[in-house]
Amino acid sequence: MNLTIDLNRIIFTIINFIVLLFVLKHFFSKPVNKIMDDRKNGINTSIKNAKDNEQKAENSRIEKDKLLHDSKTKGREIVEEYKVKAQNISQEIIDDAKKESVTLMDRSRVEIEREKEKAASEIQKQVIDLSLILSERALEKHIDEKEHRKLIEDFIVKVGS
């Protein structure tokens, strides 16, 4: 094995390498750098968008929680309001029923009074008729009914007072 170094070949290889390096740098450096920059900008944009979306999601969650809390509070207020209304309506119904019962009791008393007066009048009439029959038998004569009624009514008035 012979290890000889060919200096011409080394120099020629170095020059080829340098020329190749300049050619690659001139033709490929800008497109590759542009692709790398575009890729870097795309990644940065994606990261920024992800952070923005995360912030929007957090804001939406906070707003949703606030709306939920407000809805619950409003719901409780509505329930309390309707509870008070229901109690008021219930009290009105009870008051109306009490008034109606008092009215019915008053009507019943008036009706009982009328029936009582009617019964008393009927009894008075029957007493008068019985008195007429008794007095006719006792006297064995017939007194004019009009006159006899007047006598009995006067008697009842005197006895009643």
Q: Which tens digits make up the pLDDT trace of 15-25?
A: 999 999 988 88
Tell me, yes or no, whether 32 lies in a domain: yes
Per-residue pLDDT band at 92 (split at 50, 70, 90)? very high
Tell me, yes or no, whether 4 lies in a domain: no
Residue 154 · residue 133 · CB < 8 Å? no
Report angle CA 47, 52, 58 to the nearest 5 degrees: 125
Axis-axis angle for helices 7-139, 145-160 (nearest 10): 120
Tell me, yes or no, whether 83 lies in a domain: yes
The mean pLDDT of 80-107, rounded to a whole number, is 92
Q: CA 151, CA 134: separation in Å to the nearest integer? A: 14
Interval 116-155: pLDDT, tens: 888 888 888 877 777 776 666 666 556 677 777 777 777 7
Average pLDDT, the chain: 85
Tell me, yes or no, whether 72 lies in a domain: yes
Q: What is the pLDDT of residue 87?
A: 93
Q: Say whether pLDDT at 11 is over 70.
A: yes
Tell me, yes or no, whether 130 lies in a domain: yes
Residue 150 · residue 134 · CB < 8 Å? no
Tell me, yes or no, whether 45 lies in a domain: yes
Residue 152 · residue 128 · CB < 8 Å? yes
Tell me, yes or no, whether 156 lies in a domain: yes
Cβ contacts of 117-125, under 8 Å, gap ≥ 24: 124/156
Highest mean pLDDT, choosing among 64-78, 113-127, 146-160? 64-78
Which residues, at least 6 apart from 142, have a Cβ–Cβ distance to it below 8 Å? Answer: 136
Tell me, yes or no, whether 137 lies in a domain: yes
Q: Say whether pLDDT at 95 is over 70.
A: yes
Instruction: Please give the residue range of the domain that contains residue 37.
Output: 26-160
Highest mean pLDDT, choosing among 28-37, 97-106, 150-159? 97-106
Among the residue ranges 15-19, 34-38, 40-44, 137-141, the one predicted with the least confidence is 137-141
Q: What is the pLDDT of residue 2?
A: 57
Total domains present in the chain:
1
